[in-house]
A and B are shown apart, each in its own frame.
Chain A
Amino acid sequence: MHNKSVAELSRELESGKISSVELTREFLDRIKAEDKLYNSFITVTEDQALADAKTADEQRAAGKASVWTGVPFAHKDIFCTNGVATTAGSKMLANFVPPYDATVTANFRAAGAVCLGKTNMDEFAMGSSNESSFFGSVTNPWGLSSGDKRVPGGSSGGSAAAIAARLVPAATATDTGGSIRQPAALCGITGLKPTYGRVSRYGMIAFASSLDQGGTMARTAEDNALMLNVMAGFDPKDSTSVDRAVPDYTATLNEPLKGLRVGLPKEYFSDQLSPAMEQQVRNAVKEYEKLGATVKEVSLPHAKLAIAAYYVIAPAEASANLSRFDGVRYGYRCENPQDLNDLYTRTRAEGFGDEVKRRILVGTYALSAGYFDAYYLKAQKVRRLIQQDFINAFKEVDVLMSPVSPSPAFVQGANTNDPVTMYLEDIFTIAVNLAGVPAMSVPAGFVDGLPVGLQIIGNYFEEARLLNAAHQFQQVTDWHQKLPQ
């Protein structure tokens, strides 16, 4: 059962071939047996999951089931879960048990899905390798036969690794600069970052509020559509949530792709991309041509400035968001504070890890008197230029296709010495967040036995078109079905 998709599991439950309690137990047993190797979970909620599964079975017996009723899944440990520890991968929140649910959490609860636990992540979602988690690195299920332990990508590395290892069929994730797409690519699964504002941020621990977006991870595009059906929608509790009708994302999966106009941004096929990676991406584009798509080169002339703009805007917003962690109301507090300032400064020095501190300091610097115009305001102006690039490109084409990452999963520890080297991992994903458009990562081949992702970028609110394009690709390829050894 653990190799089946959400759609398949839902049908098995509906047919009565298996109960949710049996299914839940199977996945919990897999987590117990295998997750020592991956460390993809921070918290496993066994008792709650089995109780929820029992309720789901009763619901189904009573004829009150939805697609998700009784289907196991997991939440990235950035979504608040009432009564269950929510850590954001940080010592600062290691003891934090939220007294409320995030809207995304509540939505899955209402749909009857069974949450197995909370997945590991880079601390406060700041990282591209899942090595900044207070709860330890996550190991990618791919590439272990070579004897090296590789990163799963980040920051949603726990969700991606758990799905790739078949410990769970689907998991929530978030993406501020590539944190869904890059780990999805490195772990050989399918992930979607929706349009900014499509999924509520309420109860999703904030990193950079104008960039953060909750999204989906699963093996297939169809499962991503099933997840987005639950997650998307207006939420009055999120001031930047968009009040706009939500389509049934599964309804258009089978539309033919004939006439789909694909653009290849020439800036994303640069010398930062290894020839082997480029070959896989170009092969995937050829599949789209076979499916009836037309392909042309386009330009995103300001894309090269995206990393620079991002590393002003994201740290600046993070420095403001993370000022709430003061050791007073919840979370970590240092021992024996001498005075209030000692309480603040020592709590934050001891509670945050190195990468989080670096970003808070950079952000504080960029926002400080005398530097605001040169850094923050300048970055916001460049952000508009980057957005304009996408608006112009989508006048000519329906979707953009590119690599997700410049190289496949790297060995743990390879990029931890210099933060800037790690930042360049997101060179093809970051502009999407600055513009706020939706994008997916779809398994599209292998280099040296390691998965390669194809990035498909769409215009605002065109998640259905992306899912359709990804689903059609998955009808004629089997990259998403490959299993790690």
Chain B
Amino acid sequence: MSISREDIEKVAVLARIRVDEAQISALESDLGNILNLVDELSAADTANIEPLSHPLDAVQRLRTDEVTETNQREAFQAIAPATEDGLYLVPRVIE
């Protein structure tokens, strides 16, 4: 199966990865090859087969709703690109 330029542009938007014009041709070929590889799946007979999402078929473990972690805001924000007054800074969203 091939993948079109438009598909790649759309997926790049969804994945929030900037892709420039020069990269698209290479991606068309690389992603097309990968999709060809995975197209083998379509030939497999999977009628009445339950999908497997976890090798041990485990379910989400629950715990009691209580505080188990201490607040480490300073430690976490010390490694952030930009903070101010305990908040993470990003470019202005609302004028």
Neighbouring A residues of B61 by C-beta, 8 Å: 239
Bound complex: CA A307 to CA B41 (Å): 10
A174 to chain B, nearest CB (A): 16
Nearest A residue to B50, CB-CB: A384
CB distance from A235 to the nearest CB of B (A): 11
Q: B55 in the interface, Cβ–Cβ < 8 Å?
A: yes
Residues of chain A from 363 to 399 with CB closer than 8 A to chain B in the complex: 364-366, 368, 374-375, 377-385, 387
Contact B44 A305, beta carbon cutoff 8 Å: yes
B49 lies within 8 A of A345 (CB): no
Known: A309-B38, A378-B44. 12 other contacts (CB 8 A): A99-B76, A197-B55, A210-B55, A236-B63, A323-B15, A328-B90, A358-B30, A361-B11, A380-B51, A387-B55, A420-B33, A437-B55
Which 9 A-B pairs rank lowest in CB-CB distance, beginning with the nearest?
A436-B55, A380-B51, A381-B46, A333-B81, A384-B52, A349-B18, A99-B75, A345-B18, A308-B40
Contact (Cβ within 8 A) A342 B91: yes
Given A308-B39, A361-B27, A382-B41: A344 and B56 interface contact (C-beta under 8 Å): no
Contact of B91 with A339 in the complex, beta carbons under 8 Å:
yes
| A435 CA to B54 CA, complexed, in Å | 9
Contact B56 A312 (CB under 8 A): no
Instruction: Please state if A365 and B11 are interface contacts (CB–CB under 8 Å).
Output: yes
Given contact pairs A330-B79, A362-B31, A362-B34, A337 touches B56 in the complex (Cβ within 8 A): no
Residues 1-42 of chain B: 1 if any A CB is under 8 Å from the residue's CB, otherwise 0?
001000110111011111100000001001101111111111
The size class of the interface chain A forms with chain B is: 35 or more
User: A124 an interface residue at 8 Å Cβ cutoff?
Assistant: no
A383 touching B52 in the complex, CB below 8 Å, given contacts A326-B16, A337-B91, A419-B34: yes
Q: Does A59 contact B (CB under 8 A)?
A: no
User: When the two chains form their complex, are residues A340 and B90 in contact, meaning their CB atoms are under 8 A apart?
Assistant: yes
Which one, B31, B56, B72, B75, contacts A436 given CB within 8 A?
B56
Cβ–Cβ contact A384 & B90, under 8 A: no
Residue of B nearest to A342 (CB): B91
Assess whether B56 is in contact with A309, with CB atoms less than 8 Å apart. Answer: no
Identify B35's interface contact among A340, A362, A381, CB under 8 A: A362
8 Å CB contact of B46 from A346, A385, A436: A385
- Kindly report which residue of chain A lies nearest to residue B17, judged by CB atoms: A348
B15/A307 in contact, CB under 8 A: no
Indicate if A15 sits at the interface (CB-CB under 8 A).
Answer: no
| A358-B34 in contact (CB<8A) | yes
* Residues of A participating in the B interface, judged by any CB pair closer than 8 Å: 95-99, 196-197, 210, 236, 239-240, 242, 302, 304-305, 307-309, 311-312, 319, 323, 326-331, 333, 337-346, 348-349, 352, 357-358, 360-362, 364-366, 368, 374-375, 377-385, 387, 418-420, 423, 434-437, 460
A379 and B12 contact, CB distance less than 8 A: no
State the CA gap A197–B34 with chains docked (Å): 29
Q: Are A343 and B54 in contact (CB under 8 A)?
A: no
Which of A338, A342, A375 has the most chain B CB atoms closer than 10 A to its own CB? A375
Selected contact of A378 from candidates B3, B46, B79, B80, CB within 8 Å = B46
- Chain A residues closer than 8 Å to B19, beta-carbon distance: 349
- With contacts A302-B44, A339-B91, A419-B30 known, is A197 near B80, CB below 8 A? no
Of B35, B41, B60, chain A has the most CB atoms within 10 Å of the CB of B41
On chain B, the number of residues with a Cβ less than 8 Å from chain A's Cβ atoms is 52
**A-B residue pairs in contact (CB < 8 Å), sample of 20:** A99-B79, A210-B53, A240-B54, A242-B58, A328-B80, A339-B93, A341-B16, A342-B91, A357-B17, A365-B35, A368-B10, A374-B42, A375-B41, A377-B51, A378-B42, A379-B41, A380-B52, A420-B33, A423-B34, A437-B55
Residues of chain A contacted by B46 (CB below 8 angstroms): 378, 381-382, 385
Residues of chain A contacted by B60 (CB below 8 angstroms): 239
- B13 — nearest CB in chain A belongs to which residue? A345
Chain B residues with CB below 8 A from A341, complex form: 16
Provide the residues of chain A in CB contact with B79, threshold 8 Å.
95-99, 330
- Given that A339-B91, A423-B37 are contacting pairs, would A384 and B51 also be in contact in the complex, using a CB cutoff of 8 Å? yes
- A residues less than 8 Å from B14 (CB atoms): 364, 368
Is B7 a contact of A349 with CB atoms below 8 Å?
no
User: B67 in the interface, Cβ–Cβ < 8 Å?
Assistant: no
A374: which B residues are within 8 A, CB to CB? 42
The minimal Cβ–Cβ distance linking B40 to chain A, given in whole angstroms, is 4
Residues of B within 8 A of A385 (CB): 44, 46, 49
Instruction: Report B94 CB to chain A, min CB distance, Å.
Output: 10
Question: Do A343 and B91 contact each other (CB < 8 Å), given the known contacts A349-B18, A349-B19?
Answer: yes
Which A residues lie within 8 Å of B31 (CB)? 358, 361-362, 365
Q: Are B41 and A364 in contact (CB under 8 A)?
A: no
CB pair B41–A308 under 8 Å, yes or no, is: yes
Return the CB mask of B60-76 against A: 1 if under 8 Å, else 0: 11010000000010011
Give CA–CA (A387, B56) in the complex, Å.
10
Q: How far is the CB of A282 from chain B (nearest CB, A)?
A: 28
Residues of B close to A349: CB separation below 8 A: 17-19
Q: CB-CB < 8 A to B80: which residues of A?
A: 328-330
Contacts of A435 in B (CB 8 A): 55
How near does chain A come to B12, taking the closest CB pair, in angstroms? 7
- Take A99-B79, A419-B30 as given contacts and tell me if A381 and B88 are in contact as well, using a CB distance cutoff of 8 Å: no
